């Protein structure tokens, strides 16, 4: 009987899916250990009202949820009147905000997705780290230990519920994974599709992540293609996809607001105290 159990354990551990699944579960445990279970309750928004940046993210979602549908889809029409404000600039994660707005009528009055996003990020951080490390070693202990290091990375912890969208650092790991696996991607079409998905997801979470993955795409294309023509052709399509998604979620609407009174010509009550260099008296 013991031999049978031992054989089953060996088969489980030897399974190709063991490493990412185990690392994802470790990421889940670490997330709960650090942040607790209460943040995972979608109806619990109290922890988001601290007055820090996370409050801005929640407020952005609440305004967007209550706004009328417009195009571009990711614009909260009831913010920054009369042009509206894209939720991507509120760090409200359009990738989640737009689908949840679709089902907003059936959601509880108090609803937040930031805790679940955090859990999702920790789990994918661990899983993708395991896949990256496994590219160089099959040692299970090394893979799991390295995954833990990625999950408890100070960079991730510093961003998770401060600039919450930037907690999606698993997207960078996804780019790194595709970079190290470049030689295994057989066709140009697969290469373009995979990178289009990666860049599309990145810009739908936060445009900063797009810039980082664009650099990884260029590196992967430089490894794969030996001519400038092929390099440009196979990097332009993912970039165009990302630009189109950024347009759909309202990423370019910021220009229209600045052109009609905001920016240099804007004035609110804080300008009397903090004119930001536009006053000879107050500096």
Q: Give the percent of the chain with pLDDT over 70.
A: 84
Structure tokens given for 278: 């536009």
> Is 45 inside a domain boundary?
no
224 belongs to a structural domain: yes
Phi then psi for residue 183, to 5 deg, are: -70, -20
**Residue 49 belongs to a domain:** no
Q: What is Dmax (Cα atoms) for the chain?
A: 86
Does residue 18 sit within a domain? no
Tokens of 148: 């833990």
Using one digit for the tens of pLDDT, what is the confidence trace for 232-250?
A: 888 999 999 999 999 999 9
183 lies in some domain: yes
Tens of pLDDT, residues 51-69: 788 899 999 999 999 999 9
Residue 278 has pLDDT above 90, yes or no: no
Q: Do 27 and 122 contact (CB within 8 A), yes or no?
A: yes
Least confident of 56-70, 150-164, 238-252, 263-277: 263-277
Residue 2 domain flag: no
DSSP summary character for residue 137: -
Give SS3 for 21. Answer: helix
The string of DSSP letters for 218-274 reads HHHHHHH-SSHHHHHHHHHHHHHHHHHHHHHTTTTTHHHHHTTTSGGG---GGGGT-
Task: Work out how many domains the chain is built from and give that number.
Answer: 1
Instruction: Tell me the pTM.
Output: 0.84
Whether 143 is covered by a domain: the verdict is: no
pLDDT score for 256: 43
Quick one: tokens of 16?
Answer: 């190709």
Helix segments in the chain, DSSP class H:
2-14, 18-35, 53-66, 94-102, 114-133, 140-151, 154-159, 170-180, 188-205, 207-224, 228-248, 254-258
- The CA distances from residue 126 to 42, 130, 205, in Å, are 23, 6, 19
Percent of residues, the chain, with pLDDT higher than 90: 68
Q: Of 76-85, 95-104, 108-117, which range is least confident? A: 76-85
Residue at 205 is within a domain: yes
pLDDT score, position 18:
87
Q: How many residues does the chain have?
A: 283
pLDDT at 65: 94
Q: How far is CA 109 from the centre of its chain?
A: 25
At 261 the pLDDT is: 47
> What is the domain extent for residue 175?
169-252
Averaged pLDDT for residues 112-126: 97
Distance between CA atoms of residues 13 and 30, nearest Å: 21
């Amino acid at each position: 009987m013991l031999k049978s159990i031992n054989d089953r354990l060996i088969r489980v551990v030897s399974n190709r899916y063991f490493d990412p699944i185990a690392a994802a579960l470790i990421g889940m445990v670490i997330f709960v250990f650090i942040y607790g279970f209460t943040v995972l309750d979608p109806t619990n928004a109290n922890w988001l009202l601290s007055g820090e940046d996370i409050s801005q993210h929640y407020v952005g979602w609440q305004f967007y949820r209550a706004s009328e549908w417009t195009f571009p889809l990711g614009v909260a029409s009831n913010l920054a009147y009369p042009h509206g404000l894209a939720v991507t600039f509120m760090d409200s994660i359009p990738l989640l905000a737009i689908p949840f707005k679709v089902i907003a009528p059936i959601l509880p009055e108090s609803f937040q997705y930031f805790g679940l996003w955090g859990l999702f990020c920790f789990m994918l951080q661990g899983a993708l780290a395991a896949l990256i490390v496994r590219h160089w070693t099959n040692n299970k202990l090394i893979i799991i230990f390295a995954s833990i290091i990625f999950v408890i990375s100070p960079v991730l912890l510093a961003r998770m519920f401060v600039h919450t969208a930037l907690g999606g650092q698993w997207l960078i790991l996804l780019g790194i994974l595709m970079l190290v696996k470049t030689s295994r991607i057989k066709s140009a079409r697969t290469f373009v599709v995979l990178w289009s998905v990666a860049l599309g997801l990145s810009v739908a979470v936060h445009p900063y992540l797009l810039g980082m993955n664009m650099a990884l795409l260029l590196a992967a294309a430089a490894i794969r293609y030996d001519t400038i023509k092929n390099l440009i052709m196979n990097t332009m399509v993912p970039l165009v996809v990302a630009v189109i998604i950024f347009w759909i979620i309202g990423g370019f609407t910021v220009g229209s607001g600045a052109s009609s009174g905001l920016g240099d010509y804007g004035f609110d009550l804080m300008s009397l105290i903090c004119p930001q260099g536009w006053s000879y008296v107050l500096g």
